[in-house]
Amino acid sequence: MAATFGRRQLGTVALGTATLGTLAAADGRDGQRRRGTSDAAGAGRPPLTGITDWARRTVRNMSLPQKVGQLFVTVVYGATVDTDHPTNRTEYGVGSPAEVVRRFRLGGVIHFSWTDSLREPRQIAELSNGLQRAALDSGAGIPLTIATDQEQGAVNRIGEPATVLPGSMALGAARESGAANRAARITGRELRAMGFTQNFAPVGDVNVNPENPVIGVRSFASSPELAAELTRSQIRGYQRAGAARNTVSATVKHFPGHGDTSVDSHTDLPVIDHSERQWRRLDAPPFRAAVDEGTDAVMTGHLKFPELDPSGEPATLSRRILTGLLREELGFQGVVVTDSLRMAGVHELHPAEDVPVLALEAGADQLLMPGDLSTAIEAVTDAVRSGRLSERDIDRSVLRILSMKDRRGTVSAPLVDTAAVDRTVGTSRHRRQALRITDETVTALRDDPGLLPLRAAAGSVFVTGWGETTTAALATEIRRHRRMTETLRTGDSPDDRLIGEAVDRAGRHDVTIVLTNGAWRESGGAQRELLRSLSRADTPVIAVAVRDPYDAACVDDIGTWLATYSYREVSMRSLTRVLFGVVSPSGKLPVPVPDPDRPDTPRYPFGHGITW
């Protein structure tokens, strides 16, 4: 039986009837010098709104190099602000994060684990303060945007001891806007305590294509309405997560919608063939909700949308999409930030040095992670001096960026209290809230043998399948229920010997719990064979999809299936509470699970979920 699913057809989706009239007007202006025709207020453009007095005063006193520097957000390497890191020297010609900020007059930095920036909360806060001092001392006296992608779930840049939550699709299963809001408030408060000012979340993409390799569980749902509701709730949570204005900026992504693709834009340029009406019905609702809610920022997607822009340009470089759709049709007045300019999807048609200028011409404000920062800054500066870009349009972008910083309290309070980090990050209160939220996400898809909840007779439990830390975390939680437990991690491609060992060990226990991750994919054949082999043993089997719920349709021989949408420890804790009847499963599928042999037919429909 084939275990991969074809594209989910869109023919049953109700379509809207609007047209792209505003884009024709945007195209007409492309015959002029694209950004060089505006006046100080932006002739031919909607008047700027939401600009703070501080931003206006500051821009008037900035030099062109200072303005251009504000457009860029990039990585710096090292755990402390004065760390001499070899990658900084390779990429930027200076050693420490502070030197990078000062040399390039950066508007912002973004942190990842691979930049050696995210070791533990107090270290992060101290690094944030050091970077802010470097920015404030670098000339214009403007604090930094300090950003990361703390989506939670599959994309979780900062782990324990920070509070970890199960992510977007799990929140979609909970069907509770209040839970999504609380999750964002927890994350937002903890990020701000560590010095972050912008979170590149939530994901507004509607995951209508199960084959999507890059979004998947990062999306709330396949339903535009549910995705819109939860996107709105999370934006409210992030941007109202702290006292007064001391909050983080939300950034909804990836406009105009990355949900229906089977290509990863990190490595290639996806093409989405939705019509204009399908875009409005399927992709636009979460972004429209985000704009209505007042999101500070929108991130672009590196993807072609031929029906929205037939030029072949990716959305990041498309004036029809960023200015025509996002600015003029949806009315967005905040900051447009590109996805990483190091990703392959944005470089298919243009050399790297042209991409930053093209993004600004299209309507972007923040330029994220150019491959060569010096070259990118030089290209933008030269474009202004040659007249290709207007300095007045650069001013508009800088005004948006500075106003975002001012609104969220970065200007009035750029530094954080490092001694207070432990009173906010990973507190017992936040952890209790996270567990209550996660309890609402576990979804029971089938239990034909009636194994659940586990009874006292199940005194010995065998835990096997995908994930070394995940199987270990589940076993630890099961032991807290006074059950004998044995663990065997088989990974994502167990060989015959390992499958045989798992079957042998299962026979020594009262029940087997097997975790899967990607078993439904073509590459998941070994996981499917593990499931079939365990089903033929005498020991009852419970299978749990710890990422994509699509695993639940890939092996019919397993009669009990649950989905957690997340392999994080908090999800294993809630899973255990469901297994032993401490809480009842209340999650409902936020996406349909297709039949592997008939991809247009759901094996488990949207909204499915059983309880006891």
- Residue 45's pLDDT band (boundaries 50, 70, 90)? low
> Domain coordinates of the chain in residue numbers?
24-423, 442-604
606, two tokens: 């949207």
Instruction: Please provide the average confidence, as pLDDT, over all residues in the chain.
Output: 91
Residue closest to 72 by CA, chosen among 434, 466, 341:
341
State the pLDDT at residue 346. 86
Which of 35-44, 184-193, 228-237, 248-257 bottoms out in mean pLDDT, i.e. has the lowest? 35-44
**Across-strand partners of 335?**
297
Q: Write out the catalytic residue numbers.
A: 266, 339
Report the C-alpha gap between 170 and 563 in whole angstroms.
9
State the pLDDT at residue 139. 79
Contact 612, 584 (CB under 8 A): yes
CATH topology of domain 442-604: Rossmann fold (3.40.50)
Q: What mean pLDDT comes out for the span 367-384? A: 97
CA distances from 186 to 24, 162, 475, 570 (A): 43, 10, 27, 14
Report the C-alpha gap between 612 and 609 in whole angstroms.
11
State the pLDDT at residue 491. 95
**Across-strand partners of 298?**
252, 336
- Residue 22's pLDDT band (boundaries 50, 70, 90)? very low
What digits encode the pLDDT tens for the residues 127-159? Answer: 999 999 999 998 789 999 999 999 999 999 999
State the pLDDT at residue 264. 61
State the pLDDT at residue 348. 80
Provide φ and ψ at 310, rounded to 5°. -75, 0
pLDDT at 23 over 50: no
pLDDT at 406 over 60: yes
> 3-state DSSP: the chain helix, strand, coil percent, rounded to 5?
40, 15, 45
Report the C-alpha gap between 96 and 169 in whole angstroms.
38
State the pLDDT at residue 76. 98
What digits encode the pLDDT tens for the residues 317-364? Answer: 999 999 999 999 999 999 999 999 998 878 888 988 999 999 999 999
In three-state secondary structure terms, 511 is: strand
Identity of residue 159: G
State the pLDDT at residue 26. 37
What digits encode the pLDDT tens for the residues 282-305? Answer: 999 999 999 999 999 999 999 999
What digits encode the pLDDT tens for the residues 450-504? Answer: 999 999 888 999 999 999 999 999 999 999 999 999 999 999 999 999 999 999 9
CATH topology of domain 24-423: TIM Barrel (3.20.20)
Contact 600, 8 (CB under 8 A): yes
Report the percentage of the chain scoring pLDDT > 90. 84
Report the C-alpha gap between 576 and 234 in whole angstroms.
27
Residue closest to 347 by CA, chosen among 323, 371, 325, 365:
371
pLDDT at 389 over 50: yes
Q: What is the pTM of this model?
A: 0.91
Report the percentage of the chain scoring pLDDT > 70. 91
pLDDT at 32 over 50: no
pLDDT at 13 over 60: no
Name the more confident of 105 and 17.
105
pLDDT at 382 over 70: yes
Contact 137, 102 (CB under 8 A): yes
Q: What mean pLDDT comes out for the span 181-206? A: 97
What digits encode the pLDDT tens for the residues 213-253? Answer: 789 999 999 999 999 999 999 999 999 865 545 789 999 99
State the pLDDT at residue 349. 84
State the pLDDT at residue 267. 61
State the pLDDT at residue 457. 82
CA 298-194-103 angle, to 5 degrees, is 70
State the pLDDT at residue 270. 85
In three-state secondary structure terms, 417 is: coil
